């Protein structure tokens, strides 16, 4: 159980917030088996990809196809790039407040962190994958913070909520129309809100990220939409994640 309002980034660097132990307990595996699954997490996810996908295909892929493979892929990324992830947590610590939406929250690293910030009232974790949702709910219970986190398949059930913080890390590149998602975010933000997000519209040097979209027209439209609706807020961390606020014109 965690001490509330005490986000310990060193604990993340040490254990990923006890990630391997949580995976072992949730999946009834020993730690050696968890390590083995994590070591081939990306390869397993890539092997499941059917090739080109429509918007409907994307939804079914993450909701029905990837299963627990997504847990291990994300675990490999968060543990293998822990220094980078730690800086995204520092960014979160600097800006997150009020009602927080963690969109496409994966294995819950950023939701768990946000729930331990005194400035945060509640965290709404959203993810298509039912395994991710169940795993994050179990993690929150084990850490004694479940009352501060609710899990949701999509934003439909929380459409009336006005968010003070939106976190969207390593998600936008998985969407065939990320510009539409930016506009959805813009409609549900409070006046003093902040959006923390990044993107990686690239399939890799050797196609190792087949689940990323990289159409050039899509990318251009994304940046035009971003610049039309949001203003970047400076932060001092040397990472790809950025912080934004809505343009004042959005509230006129």
For 133-168, the pLDDT digits (tens) are 999 999 999 999 999 999 999 999 999 999 999 999
Q: How far apart are CA 143 and CA 156, in angstroms?
A: 27
- At 4 the pLDDT is 65
- At 3 the pLDDT is 62
Alpha helix segments (H runs only) across 81-156? 82-95, 109-114, 130-142
Ordered DSSP codes for 156-180: GGGTTPPEEEEEE-S-GGG-S-HHH
Which of 209, 218, 104, 188 lies closest to 154, judged by CA? 104
Residue 157 neighbours by CB under 8 Å, 6+ apart: none
Alpha helix segments (H runs only) across 106-198? 109-114, 130-142, 178-187
- At 186 the pLDDT is 97
Q: How far apart are CA 129 and CA 214, in angstroms?
A: 23
Q: Which residues of the chain have pLDDT under 50?
A: none
- At 234 the pLDDT is 98
Burial of 4 (0-12, 13-18, 19+ CB in 10 A): middle
- At 46 the pLDDT is 77
Contact 189, 166 (CB under 8 A): yes
- At 11 the pLDDT is 95
For 1-11, the pLDDT digits (tens) are 566 677 899 99
Tell me the fold of 12-251.
Answer: Rossmann fold (3.40.50)
- At 1 the pLDDT is 59
- At 45 the pLDDT is 84
- At 230 the pLDDT is 98
- At 203 the pLDDT is 93
No. of helices (H) and no. of strands (E), the chain? 11, 7
Q: Domains of the chain: which residue ranges? A: 12-251
- At 252 the pLDDT is 61
Eight-class DSSP state of 181: H
């Amino acid at each position: 159980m965690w001490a509330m309002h005490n986000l310990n980034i060193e604990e993340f660097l040490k254990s990923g917030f006890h990630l391997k132990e949580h995976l072992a307990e949730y999946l009834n595996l020993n730690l050696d088996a968890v390590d083995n699954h994590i070591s081939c997490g990306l390869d397993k996810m890539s092997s499941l990809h059917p090739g080109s996908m429509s918007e409907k295909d994307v939804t079914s892929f993450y909701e029905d196809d990837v299963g627990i493979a997504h847990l291990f892929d994300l675990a490999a990324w968060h543990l293998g790039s822990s220094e980078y992830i730690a800086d995204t947590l520092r960014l979160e610590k600097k800006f997150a407040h009020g009602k927080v939406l963690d969109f496409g929250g994966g294995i819950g690293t950023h939701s768990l962190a946000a729930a331990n910030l005194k400035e945060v009232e509640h965290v709404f974790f959203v993810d298509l994958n039912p395994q991710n949702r169940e795993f994050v709910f179990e993690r929150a219970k084990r850490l004694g913070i479940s009352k501060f986190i609710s899990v949701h398949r999509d934003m439909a059930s929380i459409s009336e909520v006005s968010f003070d913080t939106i976190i969207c890390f390593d998600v936008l590149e998985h969407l065939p129309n990320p510009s539409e998602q930016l506009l959805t975010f813009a409609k549900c933000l409070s006046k003093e809100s902040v959006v923390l997000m990044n993107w990686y519209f690239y399939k890799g040097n050797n196609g190792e990220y087949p689940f990323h979209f990289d159409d050039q027209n899509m990318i251009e439209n994304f940046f035009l939409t971003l610049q039309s609706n949001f203003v970047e807020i400076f932060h001092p961390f040397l990472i790809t994640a950025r912080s934004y606020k809505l343009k004042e014109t959005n509230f006129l």
